[in-house]
Amino acid sequence: MERALITLLDNGSRLQGPAVAKYVERLRRAHPGESPAQIITRLEKQFLTTITGSGAAAGATAAFPGVGTIAAIGAIGAESVFFLEASALLTLAVASVHGIEPHDHNQRRALVLAIALGDSGKEIVAAATGTSLKNWPKALTGQVGSKQLKLMNNTLVKKFVRKYAARRGALLLGKLVPAGIGAAIGGAGNRTIGKRTIINAREAFGAPPTTWPAEQSALPSRPTSELEA
């Protein structure tokens, strides 16, 4: 499970790393007058809407006649992968708004895992980097040796697997309940876990910057329809 998680996070990080800045930029072009705080709020709302819908859709699989348990579990498993990728994108996008840019997929992996874990994650990073609990995201993306980063990631992965397996395992069983109940459980469960991720990110990054960097302060507007496309 740990190897599968690492592969998933690395694949997502490689795809999302170059795309995150463009994602934030597209939001800013669609809403050129909004502050960093307002853009982060939009990111959070989009994240919650997306994972709530995906959780409900996966849970609804069990309501269809003729769909076996194995097929339903397969659909829910795919949705769990989607949830992790969405969480990674939110974390990296919010980091970008704060001016924090991980240099490689190892740093992105550590940042995503630490945010997902909350207090235990930031304690692991703070201890490994020798910095305060308030400044750990910037310390993580600063000068952290590759060996130190690898050891830290190993600890974060093991901790995350135990915590994630417990949360998602209970939610998976709820999503398998037929008659439409699984859809309700799936949507509500994903939203609850998603809100926890948002809270963890807010606590980790702190208050958003009040203004955009000077070189990015004047982006030409782009039609909202293009963003939605």
The tens-digit pLDDT sequence of the chain (229 residues) is: 566 666 666 666 565 666 788 889 999 999 999 999 999 999 999 998 888 776 555 544 554 444 444 444 444 445 567 778 888 889 999 999 999 888 788 888 889 889 988 888 988 888 887 776 677 888 787 767 788 888 888 898 888 877 766 555 544 544 444 444 444 455 566 778 888 899 999 999 999 999 997 655 555 555 544 444 4
- Please calculate the CA angle 144-150-156 and round it to the nearest 5 degrees: 100
Q: DSSP label at 143?
A: S
Burial pattern 36-75, b for ≥16 Cβ within 10 A else e, equals beebbebbbebbbebbbebbbbbbbbbeeeeeeeeebbeb
Q: Which amino acid is at 108?
A: R
**Where do the H-state alpha helices sit in the chain?**
2-30, 36-60, 69-97, 105-117, 119-129, 136-140, 146-175, 181-205, 224-228
Residue 122: its pLDDT value, please? 86
Coil, helix or strand for 64? coil
Cβ neighbours of residue 141 closer than 8 Å, sequence gap 6 or more: 100, 101, 102, 103, 107, 111
Rounded Cα distance, 91 and 126, in Å: 18
Phi, then psi, of 145 in degrees rounded to 5: -60, 150
Residue 34's alpha-carbon distances to 38, 134, 209, 221, 225, in angstroms, are 6, 26, 12, 11, 18
Do residues 85 and 12 lie in contact, with contact meaning Cβ atoms separated by under 8 Å?
yes
- Distance between CA atoms of 152 and 13, rounded to whole angstroms? 17
Residue 189 makes CB contacts below 8 A (sequence gap 6+) with 55, 171, 174, 175
